[in-house]
Each structure stands twice: as structure tokens, then as C-alpha cells.
Amino acid sequence: MSQAIRYPEILDIARRDGKVTVEGLSSHFGVTQQTIRRDLSDLAEAGRLERVHGGAVLPSGTNNIAYDERRSLNSDAKAAMARACAACIPEDCAVFLNIGTSTEAVANALIHHRNLLVVTNNMNVANILASNPNCNVIVTGGSLRQSDGGLTGDITTATIRQFKFDIGVIGCSAMDVDGDILDFDVQEVGVSQAILTRSRRKILVADHSKFKRNAPARIATLKEIDTFVTDRPLDATLAARCRDWNTRVIIGD
């Protein structure tokens, strides 16, 4: 069976079930798992699917991908970005780590940093850094989002405004070609904006898949970011804009 025949049916199954798996598609079409992986990679490159561990899901529009799927999406790239981000964070400083799987990866990369004060609205980040005896962790409080352990709302924002951070690290759900940083949750957007306002240096951590997605709420623009850590080179136009904006771009490897 040719790719031209498989691709529409793969997309139909994804629409029906919300997710496709390599193993399931291999059995369904009677082809090797390696063939299916190539199919899914091709569909992901075309923006028709988003790869997750063991398969793929439909790309998001106004709703975010489920948290467990986001955690497995581009996990190797997130680990590389996290190492690059952690290298930008010195010891003996105050840091804010926001909600998101990319910022959780950064927390893992900070396990051996010393004398950090980390404020976070991400319960997963707090649990990760609890294993670092040289890190003082403060959790903001707020309304708990059970799907991903994030804290948002007026209490969260009010806590953030009590601090002045050396570095604020945020993630995002999507990014527009003009450099606008986007998200799905309006309350989370307000929290991200407060973090940027209260941080001396601002770091965005986001992999290339964010350029293939769309989200309705605007956080900021890359012009307002000091360092953008990602996993692939930007297109020439946006890279030129970042140079004009003095936004440093780091490619994690």
C-alpha cells in the first residue's frame, strides 16, 4: 500500500480516535513499524500531525494537547534545550520557572545548581527541585489546574509581584511567524506577563513544534525576550528580526 493511500487513512484514524500509535498502524496496514514512523514524521513535517511517544496526535487549535502527550513530545529536544538554558543560569540567583513541560526539563537540568532561590507556579517543578538541597523553592499558590499541576489566578500573580527575579524562564504553547508568543489559557498568559515584568533577564524555552501550532492568546513578542532557547535554527526572516531586537537565540544540542 502506497503512502498516498495510507496518509489520508492515518489522518482519518487520528480524527476518530484522537491519537494513532506506531504499533496499531503497523498492524492495521500490514507494514513495518519503521515505515509507519516515516509516515508519521512526514505528516508531522507537513503540520498534519504532532509526534508523541509511540505515535502521533492531531495538532492543536484552540485547545492544548493533553499534558501527558506534551511531556513526551520532542523529549530529547527538550532535554537539550534544558541543558542550554541551565547553562545560562548562574548559581546564587533568584529564578522563576513557569508552567510547562519545557520548564520542567529546565528544573531537572538545575538539580546540581547551588544557592538558588526558585519561585514557581508549577507543582512538578517544585517536586523536581525538592531533591536539590542547595535550592530554596517557593510555590506561589493559586488555583490548581489538576491536568498539569499548574497554579494560576490572582493569588499567583500577586505573589509574583512581591519579587524581583534575576531570571524568569517561561514556555509557550505556540509561536507566530512574526515572533508573537502565544498560549491557550488567558489566566496563564497573565501569569507569564507578570513574570516577564518582574524579571531582569527573560528566557523563553520553546522547541520547533511551537511554530507549527496556533493558540489564541498573546503573551508577548520575542522582542521582549533576552534569550530564546530552541532546538532548530529559525527561518531567515525571524532570525534577522531577533538580531535587530538583540534577542539572543541559542540552539540546544
Instruction: Write down the pLDDT at residue 70.
Output: 58
- Please list the pLDDT of the chain residue by residue as tens digits (253 residues): 577 789 989 988 887 776 889 999 999 999 999 999 999 999 988 878 888 888 888 765 544 555 555 555 667 889 999 999 999 999 999 999 999 899 999 999 999 999 999 999 999 999 999 999 999 999 999 999 887 889 999 999 999 999 999 999 999 988 999 999 999 888 889 999 999 999 999 999 999 888 877 888 999 999 999 999 999 999 999 999 999 999 999 999 8
Question: DSSP assignment, residue 18?
Answer: S
**Cα(43)–Cα(35) distance, integer angstroms:** 13
Largest CA distance in the chain: 61
Residue 8: CA count within 13 A, CB half-sphere: 4
**Cα(249)–Cα(241) distance, integer angstroms:** 11
**Cα(210)–Cα(172) distance, integer angstroms:** 8
Distances, alpha carbon 212 to alpha carbons 20, 61, 215, in Å: 19, 10, 10
Question: Could you identify the residue written with the cell 508549577?
Answer: 122
Q: Are 40 and 52 in contact (CB under 8 A)?
A: no
Cell numbers at 135, concatenated: 535550592
Distances, alpha carbon 134 to alpha carbons 17, 93, 142, 166, 225, in Å: 45, 12, 25, 17, 28
For the chain, how far is it from start to end, CA to CA, in angstroms?
Answer: 37
Instruction: Write down the pLDDT at residue 49.
Output: 85
Name the pTM for this structure: 0.76
**Cα(242)–Cα(87) distance, integer angstroms:** 20
